[in-house]
Structure 1
């Protein structure tokens, strides 16, 4: 298969809808909202996702990313998994119990999984498999996208 570029357009805007998942304050479930991601030519996906995630919608939900947490990289690999690397602030600013931490990771997995249309997400922090006081991942271990306890935030 091949493709041919007909023309180059600088600062061309491309908008797509994406689901962003957040932990619910009152229940053990996740809520999602649809957000519009707008890209100009050569914009970086990880920055658009990070920026949209930090704009927390109104409602009974918690944030998924702390104010200083950064997505250092996000990409879809040939093995069918998406890989997300975070700054250390993801863990240090979370500062909660294991239940909330798992909800946050599930939210991020669902958001990235739905965006890239995959079911497995590998999390690293500063290039090292995700490890906190509650959750520990091995190299290339995947978090599975699970939408079963999710509903749209109204």
Structure 2
């Protein structure tokens, strides 16, 4: 009997030791996992702190970013980089209500929005023009990219990096992102999420009453932006004008001059007359919004190779005037050839003169 009891307690002791060792191992493993998570998190934060704003908001050529919207009809949008030059980029945002163009730049470890213009429906390279920067330049991102980094916006609002490696789920995919929060007022804020190599993937506005989300839905590389120009042409013997809305593919840094050239040289059918010869070039297009005038400089072949009587020349000029005024939303067109005011023998203007649009009955080409 005593022998049996002794054996029982011996087995019990062995089981206790095994269980204790097992528990100790489990705690050590758990402790190891926690430490590993902390190490991973610290490593992620270190990587982000060493990163540049250009890593989290790259200027991407020929990339169309489409965003799903929720909570507001204007939350859905498409984004495209029109032009990129060195540390500056012109970005276009298209939603249900308007098209907005902004100029962004990298400067002093910051991503800045230096200019913004709404109702911008045409292609124009603002980076090559002497654009007056907005008085209130807005900083979108600021180095070092670490949690707690904070700065004030021109209107006094606070913007802060509030998260590192934050999980954000979008229709495109799930990301781990840099989280930036802008305090807009009482119970009102906007949170933006940036991902390395992609850029802005989500924006969530929230207040006490509602929430608006803009979430990346597709990311299409090597993709042109489809744009449209209404081209006007003389028909047959130049007795009347017709127009055709033509879609064209615009890629980052494309020349709008070349696009107009192609449209002028290639009418929709043999019934319409080309506006310029194959050798004619458009040297430059300059838009003056204040005076509502567009200034177009052609090569000398515009006149030398026109081969048109006064009636047809009138129709060709009218077609150009209609095309430019309709596209740029202006009233006047100044035409020059290699820097000299237009002079053909039939028509002649001075430097301070211009052609105007005269409304007439023009048919759409079916």
TM-score by length of 1: 0.89
| 2:145 alignment partner in structure 1 | none
Q: Which runs of 5+ in 2 are unaligned?
A: 1-56, 64-223
Please list every run of at least 4 consecutive aligned residues from structure 1 whose deviation after the TM superposition is greater than 3 angstroms.
none
Number of equivalences: 149
**What CA RMSD, in Å, does the superposition of the two structures yield over aligned residues?**
1.6
Higher relative contact order (CA 8 A, sep 6+): 1
Equivalent pair of 2:280/2:301 in contact (CA under 8 Å): yes
Equivalent pair of 2:238/2:311 in contact (CA under 8 Å): no
Q: Map 1:74-93 to 2 at 5 A.
A: 74-78=285-289, 79-93=291-305
Q: Map 1:114-153 to 2 at 5 A.
A: 114-153=326-365
Q: Which of 31, 42, 51 is 2:242 aligned to?
A: 31
CA distance in 1, matches of 2:334, 2:277: 19
TM-score by length of 2: 0.39
Q: Which runs of 5+ in 1 are unaligned?
A: 1-5
| 2:143 alignment partner in structure 1 | none
Pick closer, same or farther for the CA change 1:153–1:41 going to 2, 3 Å: same
Q: Secondary structure at the match of 1:105?
A: helix
Q: Deviations over 1:3-58 (max 9, x none)?
A: xxx65221232221111011112462111111112211111111111112222211
Pick closer, same or farther for the CA change 1:94–1:149 going to 2, 3 Å: farther
1:9 aligns with 2:60: yes
CA distance in 1, matches of 2:267, 2:259: 14
CA distance in 2, matches of 1:52, 1:95: 19
Structure number with higher strand proportion: 2
